[in-house]
Structure 1
Amino acid sequence: MTIRRPLSPLFWALAQIGSRVRVGAPRGLPEPSTRLPAPTGLRIPTRHGVVRAVVQRPAVDDPDAPVVLQLHGGGFVNRYPEQDLHIARAMADRLGAVVVLPDYDTGPRVQYPVAEEEACDIARWLQAETGAGWSGDRLLLGGVSAGAKLAINICQQLHAASLPAPLAVALVVPVTDVIRTDRTSGVRRPAISPFVQRFVGWAYFPDVPRQQEPLASPSRDLALPAAMPPTLVLTGGDDTLAPEGAELAARLRSGGVRTEHHVFVGSDHDLLAGRDRAVVIEALDRITGFFARELGRPRPDGLTAG
């Protein structure tokens, strides 16, 4: 059921602007060590219709290549997956992976749980697709901010359906609780202010009672550790959402999930797209290094993921 939002001309105008924001990769990043092909397009079926995706392939085709579903951020309103192309290039170059960047639906045109369900359908399609140049049983998930929440949501839905989990997931500045709108940071003008939190709720989570559902707010999911594969969590020390990331990492670790957590001191919510080139480079190193280690680990069935 679609919930009518309270009238807010300001929020509506911000949503239209936010959906069109085009964020490019930070300048000055190292070039890939291999000559990567240009990104291509892909159309993926979901229960809510076909979703456009951008695909970055590695320099050498390999039918057994891992496939990474990388979900961009943007407060559940932005529609520009290309903002993560620098992440995709690093993964394709260093892991030999095929990286898929979906243009999932966002608010206010749609509302929760459309993006969550689209993300799960895309993951299942990637796992099931054959002859496309990747191995579906070597699925990895990555996400930034809102996209990190969607990556968690994929794991929740696959677990609930008793379907295979991804090999690993990398979460950058994850959103885990959409109920609270009072969170603050110690810096004067944080990227995520209470105003931004209220705007996101209006745009994509207008049905307030449903914000408490585990799929909307994974921090409320009592069974979350059972659904999660090995997990990397990267947070910025000045990010309003940093405590959520720390709580998530601690909870997963105490629940028996192999978990790595790193805090970038002095960084805000934009740590993977900000001006601090050293932070972006280190974050990419940590993500690709984590995935490389997990691809080489034995799986529970006795085989190796790599």
Structure 2
Amino acid sequence: MSNSSPDPDRGWVDPELRPVLALLPDLGQLSDATLAAMRQSLAPLPPEGVPEALSIEPVTLPGTRDTSPVTGLLYRPKAAGPAAPAILHLHGGGYVAGSAQRDDPAVRRMALRLGAVVLSLDYRLAPETSYPGALHDAHAGLSWLQDPSNGLGIDRTRIAVRGNSAGGGLAAGLALLAAREGLPIAFLALVYPMLDDRTPPHRFAGRHVWTHASNRYGWSAYLGAAAHDPPDTAVPGRADDLAGLPPTWIGCGSIDLFLEENLAFAARLARAGVPVEANVYAGAFHGFNLIPGVAVTRRFDRDLYGALSRALDVEESSL
């Protein structure tokens, strides 16, 4: 499916992004009946050959909050020395789709660019597994990275968590849980995170890719029985107190449905005394950073990788 009808708000879109509008997925009709097709559209891409400078291996981790094992992909730059930093990567997909394999091209670039060990997690998806299944899986991933017996030899004081879209909301929920348990996270990188189930429709934001209708479906599927009174680890936008969260970077397009909730979360982090950097990319819709070769994507990469390299105290590669 694609957005083939004329767009009355085309003028809000960055001119370099306008040519792809007709190719964007239309998720406004997302439902139980269309979910399988949506997942197929986000099926893993054929894997590229593994660069000589990088090892990629599937891993299975023990669950920490329930008995379910957790799978993912582990990326290790061969040039990474002892006490390398690490990143837990949580993919997007509205809590109902996506996979570690789908994010493979971006994650291998991140590992090589930062010289970091990266665990890209395949958390359980809704509606088959509702909250707190995905959160438990994310917790298992962070706990494994923090465990000195894992044999990775990483610097456990330099573990960041990056999440895209629903993965960004999951990262924020994990940070709340980790702060309460004393499980340290050095840095949060939230890419247009899905933070608040109460977000209303907007005049021009959320018209492309991830709409108000698809957002309602994603939240309903994820929250399940918790929807009547969701805890803040499920819906971080509802958290009363954000004190104790790690320094945070947030990036969002100006016409993304999540713009207002992202800015509100950033403001509340600042008020709670948490160092925060919020970036808004003019004319950019949800998922814009996946479109290569345009200026707004280059700005996004510069900002995100600059923040990660500073937080992890590494020299960024010129990849």
**TM class, shorter-length:** 0.7 to 0.9
TM-score w.r.t. the length of structure 2 is 0.80
Instruction: Tell me the residue number matched to 1:175.
Output: 194
Instruction: Tell me the residue number matched to 1:150.
Output: 170
Instruction: Tell me the residue number matched to 2:5.
Output: none
Is contact 1:185-1:239 (8 Å) kept?
no
Q: Pick closer, same or farther for the CA change 1:159–1:42 going to 2, 3 Å.
A: same
Instruction: Tell me the residue number matched to 2:263.
Output: 246
Cα deviation code 1:85-118 (max 9, x no counterpart): 3432333223210111111001111111110121
Is contact 1:178-1:217 (8 Å) kept?
yes
Aligned residue among 225, 228, 245 for 1:228:
245
| Higher deviation after alignment, 272-281 or 259-268 | 272-281
Q: Pick closer, same or farther for the CA change 1:60–1:211 going to 2, 3 Å.
A: farther
Shift of 1:188: 8.2
Is contact 1:66-1:138 (8 Å) kept?
yes
Aligned residue among 128, 135, 146 for 1:116:
135
Q: Which runs of 5+ in 1 are unaligned?
A: 1-8, 26-31, 298-306
Instruction: Tell me the residue number matched to 1:264.
Output: 281
Instruction: Tell me the residue number matched to 1:278.
Output: 295
Q: Pick closer, same or farther for the CA change 1:213–1:179 going to 2, 3 Å.
A: farther
Cα deviation code 1:187-223 (max 9, x no counterpart): 5832222220221133222225445321121111112
Instruction: Tell me the residue number matched to 2:215.
Output: 197
| Higher deviation after alignment, 59-68 or 206-215 | 206-215
| Higher deviation after alignment, 151-160 or 275-284 | 275-284
Aligned residue among 209, 224, 231 for 1:206:
224
Aligned residue among 32, 37, 43 for 1:22:
43
Paired residues, what number? 279
Cα distance in 1, alignment partners of residues 95 and 278 from structure 2: 24
Q: Pick closer, same or farther for the CA change 1:279–1:59 going to 2, 3 Å.
A: farther
Cα distance in 2, alignment partners of residues 185 and 142 from structure 1: 29
Instruction: Tell me the residue number matched to 1:5.
Output: none
Cα deviation code 1:27-73 (max 9, x no counterpart): xxxxx9x8532522111111241111112221314231111001000
CA RMSD of aligned residues (A): 2.5
1:289 corresponds to 2:306: yes
Instruction: Tell me the residue number matched to 1:127.
Output: 146
Q: Pick closer, same or farther for the CA change 1:204–1:115 going to 2, 3 Å.
A: same
1:84 corresponds to 2:83: no
Is contact 1:73-1:147 (8 Å) kept?
yes
Is contact 1:68-1:140 (8 Å) kept?
yes
Cα distance in 2, alignment partners of residues 194 and 61 from structure 1: 42
1:139 corresponds to 2:156: no
Is contact 2:56-2:74 (8 Å) kept?
yes
Is contact 1:15-1:108 (8 Å) kept?
no
State the SS of the aligned residue for 1:227. Answer: coil
What amino acid does structure 2 have at the position aligned with 1:138? Answer: R
What amino acid does structure 2 have at the position aligned with 1:36? Answer: A
Shift of 1:265: 0.5
Is contact 2:58-2:71 (8 Å) kept?
yes
Instruction: Tell me the residue number matched to 1:165.
Output: 184
Q: Pick closer, same or farther for the CA change 1:195–1:160 going to 2, 3 Å.
A: same
State the SS of the aligned residue for 1:206. Answer: helix
Is contact 1:237-1:263 (8 Å) kept?
yes
Shift of 1:237: 0.6
What amino acid does structure 1 have at the position aligned with 2:239? Answer: D
Is contact 1:41-1:52 (8 Å) kept?
yes
Cα deviation code 1:139-162 (max 9, x no counterpart): 11100000001111111111111x
Aligned residue among 45, 69, 88 for 1:69:
88
Cα distance in 2, alignment partners of residues 196 and 276 from structure 1: 28
Q: Percent same amino acid at aligned positions?
A: 29
Cα distance in 1, alignment partners of residues 38 and 226 from structure 2: 22
TM-score w.r.t. the length of structure 1 is 0.83
